[in-house]
Amino acid sequence: MSYNASMTPFDNGTTIPTYIKPFDDSVTILSGTVIFLFLAIGVFLNTLTIVVIRSTPKLRNVFMFFIMSLCVSDLMSALISPLFWYRRTLGFDVWLPPNFFCKLFWSVDLMTTFSTSMHILDFAILRYLSIQHPSTFQRISERRAKLWIFLTWVIAFLCGFVPLWIFTGAVPGEQRDRNSGEKNEKWPACTLLLETLDDYMKYSMSSYIVLILLPMIVVAIVSVLICRSVHYHAKSSLVNDDKATKKRLRKERQAVLQLVLIVVSFIFGYLPFVTYEIWSAFGSAHVVVDYWFGLGQYFCLRFSECMNPVFYNISSSKMRRNTKRYLNNMCKFCGCADKSGSRAASETSSFEVGATNLGV
C-alpha cells in the first residue's frame, strides 16, 4: 500500500517521493468528535447498566451476570478509545507517550473484542437452554455462572492481551520512516512490530476464526433454533390457553428480541473489524482506502458497544423499570425531580416482578 506522493528534486538531479498523510486537520477534528462522543455515551450507559444491576437484588440472576460482565468489556473498550484516536491522528507519524500505552491499547482492544464475542456466544447458549432445556438451565447456579464468566475472561486475556503485548509497540518520539521500503512503513507509528509480523499473521488468522467468526456462526445457528422453539411454543399456546403459558410465551419473545438485537449489534461492529484486520495485514491497494477503512470499522465497533446497553433496556421491561427508578432516584437526590416524577417512580417501584428463568 502507498500514500499519495509527489517527487521532491535534489541538487544532484535525483528525486525521492515525499509522502503525504492520508488525512488532514478536518479528519482529526471529525474523528475526535465522533470517538469522544461515543466515549461519553459508552461510559455513561455501560456504567449505568452495571450500577443498576448491582444495586437491584431482583436483577441478580445468571443472565444479568453475563450482561454486567459484557458491559465491563464494553466499558474498557470505551475507555481506551482515545488512544485509538491519537494513534490515527496526532500520533500517526510520531508516538510521544511511553510505549506502554501503545501496547496497552492493542492488548486491551483485542482482549475486549474476544471477551465480547465469547460473552455473546455464552449468552445465546444460556437463552437456548432456558427456553429449550429449562431443567438443565436450572442447574446453572450463580457460582457456576461466575466461574464461567471468569474462564471467559481468562481465555480473552491469554489469547488477546498477551499476544498483542508481544506483537505491537512504538518507539516514543521517533519519526516514522516512510521510505524504509518495509511492509509496515505506511502504518501509524504505534503498530505491529516488523519482526513479529509473520507470526502475527498466522496468529490472527487462527484466533479471529476461532474466537470471532466461529462464535458468529454458532450464535446465528442457536438464534435460529431459539426462534423455532418459541414458534413451536406459540403454536402450543393456542391449545393451552392459560395465563401461565401466555406469560412464558411473552417472556420467551422478549428473550428472543433481546438476543436478536445483541447479535445484530455484534455483527455490525465486529464483522468489519475482522475484515479490516485480515485485509490490512495481508496488504491493501491504497493507503487512503486503508486509512478510511480502519477508521470506519472502528466507528462501527464503538457504535455497536454503545448500543448494547440500549438494547438491554429495549428488550427487557424489568430492566427498563429499574433503570428508570434509578435515574429518578438520582434526579431526586440531585434536586431535579418534581413531585409527580417522584410519585411516578414510587408507583413504578411497587410494580416489580420477580426474576424468572428467562431473566427478562
pLDDT value of residue 60: 83
Cell of 342: 417522584
Report the chain (360 residues): mean pLDDT per 10 consecutive residues: 42 52 88 95 94 89 90 94 94 94 96 92 88 87 94 96 96 83 79 89 88 88 83 63 67 74 84 82 69 90 88 80 88 66 45 44
- What sign for the dihedral angle of Cα 272, 274, 278, 283? positive
Tell me phi and psi for residue 180, to 5 degrees.
Answer: -75, -20
User: What's the pLDDT tens digit per position in 169-184?
Assistant: 998 998 887 777 777 7
Cell of 73: 468489556
Helix (H, G, I), strand (E, B) or coil at 231: helix
Helices 99-132 & 142-156 angle (0-180, nearest 10): 140
Cell of 136: 438443565
Helix (H, G, I), strand (E, B) or coil at 12: coil
Express as a percent the part of the chain with pLDDT over 70.
Answer: 81
Dist. CA 221–CA 64, nearest whole Å: 23
- CATH architecture of the domain covering 47-319: Up-down Bundle (1.20)
Containing 7, the helix (H) or strand (E) segment is strand 5-9
Nearest 5°: the CA angle 91, 95, 99 is 135
Dist. CA 21–CA 211, nearest whole Å: 34
- Mean pLDDT of the residues in the chain: 81
pLDDT value of residue 143: 92
pLDDT value of residue 57: 87
User: What's the pLDDT tens digit per position in 192-212?
Assistant: 898 898 898 889 888 988 998
